[in-house]
Amino acid sequence: MDMHENRHPELGRISASLYIAESTGRGRGVFCNSDIRKGSIIEVSPVIVMSAGDRSLLDQTLLHDYIFLWGKNEEQCCIALGYLSVYNHSYNSNAEYEMDYALQSISVKAVRNIRSGEEIFINYNGVWNNAKPVWFDQDGRFK
């Protein structure tokens, strides 16, 4: 085996073109300083998985807005490391996320070409174009 060969599966990666900045009307957001092509993996974020009991406690805190439901039956939750908890929501997002339960990670992939300077959005419903209202947007403000 070559001494430079990676012997471990990749559990985390953040594209060098990403940065966090103020997002108008949304607080912080994730942006890119170079173009990202459709289909590119933007980030692979390791997660910390917690039990249903932990989730009930987290639901009583500000962290409720930053956890992801986890597991095939969504009985657990997780906190994503990296930038993942900073991506803002859009019903017509330019990226989507995919959970890998075995590796305990979430990857973010571009669903269309993203221009330099553009904010990167995910749809909190889990599918990039799902229009079902999310918990904080019952009036449809975040189209």
Beta strands in 51-89, from DSSP E residues, in sequence order: 67-70, 76-80, 88-89
d(CA 126, CA 116): 24
Q: In this predicted model, what pLDDT tens digit does every residue of 58-89 receive, in sequence order?
A: 878 877 777 888 988 888 989 999 999 899 98
Amino acid at 82: G
d(CA 122, CA 128): 6
Please, are residues 31 and 21 in contact by the beta-carbon 8 Å criterion?
A: yes
Percent of the chain predicted with pLDDT > 70: 80
Query: What is the CATH number that goes with domain 13-122?
Result: 2.170.270.10
Range among 11-15, 40-44, 90-94, 127-131 rated most confident = 40-44
3-state secondary structure of 84: helix
Sequence spans of domains, the chain: 13-122
